[in-house]
Amino acid sequence: MKTFYITTPLYYINAQPHLGHTYTTLVADCLSRYKRMQGYDVCFLTGTDEHGQNIERAADSQGVSPQVLANQNTEAYRRLWSQFDIKYDSFIRTTDDHHYAAASQIFKRAFDNGYIYKGEYAGWYCIPCNLFASEADIAPNCEVCNRPTERVVEESYFFKLSAFQDRLLDLYQKKPDFINPSFRRNEVINFVSSGLKDLSVSRTSVTWGIPVPLSGNHVIYVWFDALVGYLSGIGFGDPKRQEEFKKFWPAQVHLVGKDIIRFHSVYWPAFLLAAGIEIPFKVYAHGWWLQDETKMSKSRGNVVDPIQLLDHFGGDAIRYFVLREISFGADGNFSYDALIQRINSDLANDFGNLVSRTLKLVSKAFGKTFPEFSDLVIADKERELQGQVTLTIKYYEEYMNKLAFSKALEVIWNLLSQVNKYITDSAPWKMIDDESQRTHLATILLTSTEIIRIVTVLLSPILPGSCSKVWNQLGIQEKLDKQRIDKLEWGNVVGGCTLGKIEPVFPRLDKKSIIKKLVGPLGANDGKKKITSGEKVTMSKDTPLAKESGSSDIARIKIEDFTKIDLRVGQVISAEKVKGTDRLLKLLVDLGTENRQIIAGIAQSYKEEDLVGKKIVVVFNLQPRKMRGLDSNGMLLAASIGEDENPVLATFSEEVPNGARLK
């Protein structure tokens, strides 16, 4: 049996997953379901990258050990994947025992083969990306995430990347399909052609990592460690799983975001060549989901929360939207408008409506069981549709094989629009009570049902839950996940099947009410009433402060000045009195991407226990300062109603994710 090994990146566990991580994993899930339908023995690997300084620091700021943080956030990833019905075959954690063995072994092999030597690293390093930056006198910003880099000077083992320049260029030339899309290939070729420097592959100032097998005080560079996860995830390093490793390696495709293409198409093949292991067939770098035209990222805090999407729209609608909305490889701006539009028009109208009107007519005309007609009158219209089905399957496969998901969906929707037109033009509802039209009626309804059956199979990798509902309504006994594309041809499969319960699979959404729920209405407070810590208050133009400042003589600022202030939603994790003061509380606040300590003068308004769990507004980009000898990193927003009244925290009357920006 042909095998197909597909991987997602192993995600950092310093924060919760967002739509970007969900995207790559959904694509991998969809592709592996599709490959199974093509008859492949598939292994789909995902997992978590748990070592390194970024994790060490995140754990430190939350007052937990890196292992505790890793355990918590790995669970968040697993939970989310199960909520999205993502069916991976293997989940590798870089803290798994056999992964330690695998990473040490690869490091040792590269060393034994003469590709690793000891030296000293002096240069700049981006902690969030774990990327070495180019030489400069003052700290350059990271070329991937644009954040400031930090100085690192320490003893290090170096990997002789420079020795692989020609071999890599040769690889890109001989295997033009190795880097995808092709425009990324050119970027990588330019990078490699401009000269490769040896790469530092161990750290002594970091302890949270896999020890270098040659020396006790070094840990393996986190990218070297994490990339080996693609091997250990299928058994490398575990003597009992050698067969599995041999069966699936080399991987057919590593799916990654464009941010990490260099690690996968330059460093990774070089590490493998150095260790004498075959290189994967393909690396595919997709684009970014943007929010307000900038990359959605944990550190920027402009992320779309996948749980919120699930709650409001369901997993299948999100799967469909992300695959249909942007062509795979390009960037795309996330918008609720576009999402709701796709759900209502494509899913509810074009597909959902076709299913329910066809099956309702079948049940009205023939009862619960499909007729087994042998004398259908196949005319030109039906023959044309049959031809369209054959072409649709062909193009769908061609596009899916190229990972052109949006195009594959487009061809299915072309077919759906033709069937919808066929039904509308033939008006079968007018024939229900006419005995003389019985065969004609059966022909129309069975033609439409047959197309629904085929489309349901083709869509099942993208909409697994909804397609299985449609399948049950069709009443076909054979399991949906046992369907094979090469066996998918026109035939009277539903004849004799008994319909399941006919229910709408994609209910239409009311855009206004859903946007209102997502964004939340502005509440009002008369400003006179003292607000207790349990109540919520939202800012409104009717509050006294707003009235007072409504006069024309206030010093107005420009919008550019306002946008310099980065306000974010935070949630209080813990609160305690600062010793020796009546007014100050020391808070630990979850800002979505990180936890921060903030010292706030609100002890007289709020009891510590009333604050825990509260959503508040934080000035995110305020310079850190010391208060009573304690670091305070940010400021809370609160209103003071009168001169001697205690401050009241600004909070929210609707659910809002931690880290969301206020604009």
Least distance between ligand ME8 and beta carbon 296 (Å): 4
Nearer to ligand ME8, 149 or 468 (CB): 149
- Bridge partners of 439, per DSSP, are none
229 near ligand ME8, rule: CB under 6 A:
yes
Closest Cα partner for 547 from 527, 565, 574, 533? Answer: 527
Q: Which residues of 340-358 are buried (b: 16+ CB within 10 A; e: fewer)?
A: bebbbebbbebbbbbbbbb
Nearer to ligand ME8, 155 or 187 (CB): 187
Q: Which residue in 210, 226, 343, 641 binds ligand ME8 (CB under 6 A)?
A: 226
Least distance between ligand ME8 and beta carbon 50 (Å): 9
What is the helix, strand, coil percentage profile of the chain, to 5? 45, 20, 40
Stretch touching ligand ME8 by CB under 6 A, among 251-259, 271-279, 545-553, 638-646: 251-259
295 near ligand ME8, rule: CB under 6 A:
yes
Give residues 434-473 in contact with ligand ME8 (rule: CB under 6 A). none
12 near ligand ME8, rule: CB under 6 A:
yes
227 near ligand ME8, rule: CB under 6 A:
yes
Q: Which residues of 498-508 are buried (b: 16+ CB within 10 A; e: fewer)?
A: ebbebeebbee
Q: Which residue in 23, 132, 351, 370 binds ligand ME8 (CB under 6 A)?
A: 23
Asked if 101 and 228 count as a contact pair (C-beta separation under 8 A), the reply is: no
Closest Cα partner for 357 from 442, 429, 443? Answer: 429
Token readout for 531 is 């607000």
Nearer to ligand ME8, 259 or 610 (CB): 259
Quick one: residue 517, left, alpha or beta (phi over 0 = left, psi -120 to 50 = alpha)?
A: alpha
Q: Which residues, 6 or more positions from 185, have their beta carbon under 8 angstroms from its beta carbon?
A: 172, 176, 178, 179
Stretch touching ligand ME8 by CB under 6 A, among 15-23, 57-65, 365-373, 513-521: 15-23
Least distance between ligand ME8 and beta carbon 246 (Å): 21
Q: Which residue in 4, 5, 6, 11 binds ligand ME8 (CB under 6 A)?
A: 11
Q: How many residues at the interface with ligand ME8, by CB under 6 A?
A: 21
Q: Which residue has the tokens 């290090």?
A: 156
326 near ligand ME8, rule: CB under 6 A:
no
Nearer to ligand ME8, 294 or 414 (CB): 294
Q: What values do phi and psi take at 202, rounded to 5?
A: -150, 160
340 near ligand ME8, rule: CB under 6 A:
no
Q: Which residues, 6 or more positions from 598, have their beta carbon under 8 angstroms from its beta carbon?
A: 587, 589, 618, 632, 633, 634, 635, 636
Nearer to ligand ME8, 318 or 415 (CB): 318
| Chain centroid, CA 341 distance in Å | 21
614 near ligand ME8, rule: CB under 6 A:
no
Angstrom CA distances, 129 to 61, 148, 160, 302, 524, stand at: 18, 11, 21, 18, 43
Asked if 621 and 565 count as a contact pair (C-beta separation under 8 A), the reply is: yes
Closest Cα partner for 471 from 493, 444, 439, 438? Answer: 493
24 near ligand ME8, rule: CB under 6 A:
yes
In terms of Cβ atoms closer than 10 Å to its own Cβ (0-12, 13-18, 19+), residue 240 is exposed
Nearer to ligand ME8, 336 or 373 (CB): 336
- Bridge partners of 253, per DSSP, are 6
9 near ligand ME8, rule: CB under 6 A:
yes
Stretch touching ligand ME8 by CB under 6 A, among 224-232, 310-318, 441-449, 515-523: 224-232
Nearer to ligand ME8, 55 or 192 (CB): 55
Closest Cα partner for 164 from 275, 249, 253? Answer: 275
Angle at 279 between CA 275 and CA 285, to 5 degrees: 125
321 near ligand ME8, rule: CB under 6 A:
no
Least distance between ligand ME8 and beta carbon 163 (Å): 22
Run of H or E residues at 56? helix 53-62
Give residues 559-598 in contact with ligand ME8 (rule: CB under 6 A). none
Stretch touching ligand ME8 by CB under 6 A, among 292-300, 377-385, 549-557, 591-599: 292-300
Stretch touching ligand ME8 by CB under 6 A, among 187-195, 291-299, 398-406, 557-565: 291-299
Stretch touching ligand ME8 by CB under 6 A, among 7-15, 314-322, 351-359, 510-518: 7-15
210 near ligand ME8, rule: CB under 6 A:
no
Nearer to ligand ME8, 366 or 405 (CB): 405
**Distance, CA of 55 to CA of 76 (rounded, Å):** 15
305 near ligand ME8, rule: CB under 6 A:
no
49 near ligand ME8, rule: CB under 6 A:
yes
Nearer to ligand ME8, 295 or 615 (CB): 295
Q: Which residue in 181, 233, 237, 257 binds ligand ME8 (CB under 6 A)?
A: 257
Q: Which residue in 188, 210, 260, 411 binds ligand ME8 (CB under 6 A)?
A: 260
Q: Binding residues for ligand ME8, per CB under 6 A? A: 9-12, 20-21, 23-24, 49, 226-227, 229, 256-257, 259-260, 288-289, 295-297
